[in-house]
Structure 1
């Protein structure tokens, strides 16, 4: 006997199936149009980009012609990678690390994000699309997918706290003309690099622009052949992280075109400033778009802004296990290295690792910069850790500690307890990360186990093998 309720449920299910069918038909039509456009313009291959826990780009290619002849045209049709490739292989070798809890039996499907699609001007027969890693059986995001993790942090901020993020990143790198020499001998903000490398910079700018990657500033940095490319602020942290990956790929490709190698290694010469990847962050009301980091109409941080900064500081020693994950990372940090070396914050102090910055026009304290970040990290994981930590401060309504400037003034007149030290090496940072309940919960047991095991294994191998800075530079040069 069919009741009215059963009839209603059957009708509802049928309606949902019809909606799903229309959606799939529409997606297939979009995919067909895109692929035909690519085929007409001479593009042969569609690259599927993903990034593993240790900042390796994992890429597979589908021929455009093959995608077009499939019976159900879809950009996410049967493309997968072994799960262990995302959590069980170190940066430098395709060798499974024991103890990660992963093996070679499972595969992850790559779910492409159409909004990330780009043509590649440095490889004109190819286009690319960024992908998320999905469980092959459930269709749910894999716990090893850092891009999905960052998306989740952004969505949680919006729906739970009505907060959105604005993020910018500074990319620092060196142009090397050989294993022992650099493109030039410029110094900070000098015109030597700009003059001598103008063709490279113009070409790089044009190619980034063609990929919809917006550049805010370019200047020479302190070291020989060293340049900084500042990516414009984005209110979409995932899109910004995609741009970081694609910009690094483009920089390497353009460097080779001009007979250089682009080196992002954190420290390449103990007598020179290293390569950082400083992250700038602000928060805004996700409903109105109004900035909420600073007080209305004046200098100073708002209550939420102060709690956000304190959240960063509370978790910073552990965050460094995500943002500075190699032995080389810690060679870059120290007093006088433009990186900061204390756990604390300061206003507009470029020697502070956590720097609150003011707007030149309005004088409002409108964003915070974290300098304890370099290009050896997975940018999705690093941003997820940073933004989630700041959000934790907002949720807990933590009170911001005095600035380092205030602390220094107090030290002049009284005996104060010195600030808790930051980790001095990567092993200390990873051990601190392991003890941070908030970040461990954020990462999930699967991700955290694999990450800690592999990062510790890499660090121990580097130390026990006596890997020198010269060895690291040589490896980075040949891999670039």
Structure 2
């Protein structure tokens, strides 16, 4: 075991100063031409007009001025006019530099873009250029209603007000359109939540009874409409109407989220500190208590630290599950001591899981920067004080910092972002391959399918002329380049002990943990760790050290050219994958998947799971795309034969066809039901299971999940299937061709959100690189025996089609696709990584018109001319050697996946083939069945 040093005050300081921020409450930057209309001194005060002159002598202003000198690189003794002159020079010559510095450390922004006229500010997505992840919208409900009213009353005059049904018709139309817009925003993935400014307008003493609020709105609404028509002023500031809009929004949120155990999108409310038009007494969040109690599945976010009512807000956040306290705007509006006092009050009873960071940044980029700098400064001082007094440990302080800056908002707003803080890998300056030869012998069953000139016997022979040697550096292609994150390594990984503690509270009987990882050959490797030792690992931050050489061995520990006995890899459990094992396990146990780390605790490029996270992050952060994936586990259940003269395995059932339930099959229901219920018991949802076409063959359909979690669940589910079968004296195999006439696949369904770029991803990317991708999705010689035309296996042509099972890429619906050229031999991390890399290349190309058309017919039934009309010109590889050849010549895909990785993978596949080629056909079949 290798234990990194325990967190110290120095590591706490580093986290506070550098951990990325999700800013849960911000506003748009103003259009550059209007910057001069906003006085810089306004960023530290809510005063306006004549009162703003006195702001220059306030502590918040004096402190901010000192910090802004540092930002603008002014001398320490520069006065305010000199500071403004320097700022003006920056804005004139290099505004981009100022923006980049002001948004440094901001991972994502949640932007209320209802602050002013849209023409006055830059759109919310403009800010994405300065953040790691895409910005999201917060919809201001009063702005929605006011803009609707403005559009409804176009051309209306005083004469129209006299019509008998005018007010009623207007009210009905307004409420219908308002409800429609709120419902659409709920479904819009670009909208993270909603917001009301009722605190500014009429106060937080909202009428809690929705029916009464609806009855009271009549006369105030008529007066409001008259003002709109006569004065063209659409601001809503009549209590009954404001109350109704808030309650109607809450009603819609509740209706759209009917389950009490599921939270809707949050509603933000201004509380406390605000513009001078606020009624200070009615801005006390305590006024909201009856409303909070009436809408328990709507999260309420109390903004602006509720200052000066921080304690009241903290109490609400403590006693109600659906209340959160935003600790924003007081940075930089309040002095240092005031900020520290506010944070103290927030922490008096409020859990760290209920506090959210925000800047309330608006119009000027400096507002974001000052809030960021000042919060980190004061927060660090406060935490160090608590650590020195032993109220908290450095580890606890670090965890709370990460929660407030990132995790709490990430969870509350369902952003599914990842705080990329530690280095995923340190890429070498020159990526090279480690082998010079291919992966199959010329004596293999697929020898006839090998590309011309491919020598599969001699280790020293190049796979193809452009295939680089282990010493010649490869010139990067113009294709995909790795994304510009994460930052350099900074601190050892610290386990989420809260996640671990929660698991143990729910499963106190667990005595053993299987720490597992999937190697290059798709073999599950494991260390069995008693719970006492596992607990020590979690508390100390330890990892399990294994030899670097273990990653370069075959399924039977046979050596390969990749095996390096020098060096160490550190296996680090990923607690997100921690789950109980099934009830048949010998003792109550858990299983957890792992990352591979280097000696500094950084993820390494060889790690299959780390590579997947890197690609997922690129899609999510740089392209605003989220993915869900659901797998189908096709498995053949076999009986072992005891008689030496018989076949080693026979199918469990023979009276068998797709979707049937013969009496022979019915007798296997106890086995199948035990598998399904065992998976459900450990949190892996089986949507359905049924017989497949082959004798003894069944399919279990797993529910879709985020991509990494779906692959983790697949691996854990396959273990359950195999182990329950073994308990019944059976062998469950994923072998793609265990018997003639039986083909076993491992189809994956991948969905894009939003779905509008699915053709670019799958047709322009995955399909274009599919021959090379097959080296990962169909990784064995026998994998290609399953691929055939007219057999519902995906066919042999590089093509796609809607609801077409005779093509390798089946489009199920908009955004959802099925990968059919995939089997159970694949290391699923590698296979999905290759698919992701291909898809990203398609997105990056920006091509939207493709020669490959939607094929609604079996391609094998077409002649060459017919296929050409659909853009079908290429066949899938007919053997692994051909797939490897395609991979080596696909520069962009290799560059995306990493040249060293691809070289290592192919070298190991070559060694595996040399081992398997020494066996007879039957020996090889049995050997693979026993392992997959």
TM-score (norm 1): 0.84
Which among 452, 455, 467 is matched to residue 906 of structure 2? 452
SS in 2 for 1:93: coil
* C-alpha distance 67-188 of structure 1, shift in aligned 2 (>3 A): closer
Which among 411, 414, 428 is matched to residue 865 of structure 2? 411
What per-residue deviation string (whole Å, max 9, x for no partner) do you get for residues 93-144 of structure 1? 212202x2x41111111222112111112324221111111111x3211111
* C-alpha distance 366-38 of structure 1, shift in aligned 2 (>3 A): closer
- Match for residue 843 of structure 2? 394
Which among 368, 371, 394 is matched to residue 820 of structure 2? 371
- Match for residue 782 of structure 2? 328
Which among 572, 575, 581 is matched to residue 114 of structure 1? 575
CA contact (8 A) 1:264 1:275 kept: yes
CA contact (8 A) 1:430 1:456 kept: no
Which among 312, 319, 323 is matched to residue 766 of structure 2? 312
CA contact (8 A) 2:639 2:651 kept: yes
Which among 675, 680, 698 is matched to residue 209 of structure 1? 680
Which among 670, 687, 691 is matched to residue 199 of structure 1? 670
**CA-CA distance at 1:466 after TM superposition:** 5.5
What per-residue deviation string (whole Å, max 9, x for no partner) do you get for residues 424-468 of structure 1? 1111111211222232123223322210101122234434x2541
CA contact (8 A) 1:28 1:74 kept: no
The alignment of Structure 1 onto Structure 2 pairs a total of residues equal to 443
What per-residue deviation string (whole Å, max 9, x for no partner) do you get for residues 316-359 of structure 1? 0000001111111111111133221101112212121111123x
In structure 2, list runs of 5 or more residues that go unmatched. Answer: 1-65, 71-372, 388-392, 401-494, 641-647
Compare the two structures and name the one with the higher strand fraction: 1
Equivalent runs, 1:34-433 vs 2, <5 Å: 37=505, 40-41=508-509, 43-68=510-535, 70=536, 73-74=538-539, 76-86=541-551, 88-90=552-554, 92-98=555-561, 100=562, 102-121=563-582, 122-123=584-585, 124-136=587-599, 138-178=600-640, 179-185=648-654, 186-192=656-662, 195-234=666-705, 236-270=706-740, 272-285=741-754, 292-293=755-756, 304-310=757-763, 311-339=765-793, 340-358=795-813, 365-398=814-847, 399-400=849-850, 401-405=852-856, 408=862, 411=865, 419-433=873-887
CA contact (8 A) 1:76 1:110 kept: no
Q: How far apart in 2 are the matches of 1:341 and 1:32?
A: 47
CA contact (8 A) 1:171 1:277 kept: yes
In structure 1, list runs of 5 or more residues that go unmatched. Answer: 286-291, 294-303, 359-364
SS in 1 for 2:753: strand
CA contact (8 A) 2:543 2:572 kept: no
**CA-CA distance at 1:66 after TM superposition:** 3.0
* C-alpha distance 25-326 of structure 1, shift in aligned 2 (>3 A): same
What per-residue deviation string (whole Å, max 9, x for no partner) do you get for residues 18-44 of structure 1? 796335677586377458648841x22
Q: Bigger radius of gyration, 1 or 2?
A: 2
* C-alpha distance 438-212 of structure 1, shift in aligned 2 (>3 A): farther
CA contact (8 A) 2:744 2:823 kept: yes
**CA-CA distance at 1:397 after TM superposition:** 2.2
Aligned alpha-carbon RMSD (Å): 3.1
**More relative contact order in 1 or in 2 (CA 8 Å, sep 6+)?**
1
* C-alpha distance 446-23 of structure 1, shift in aligned 2 (>3 A): farther
- Match for residue 361 of structure 1? none
SS in 1 for 2:703: strand
- Match for residue 430 of structure 2? none
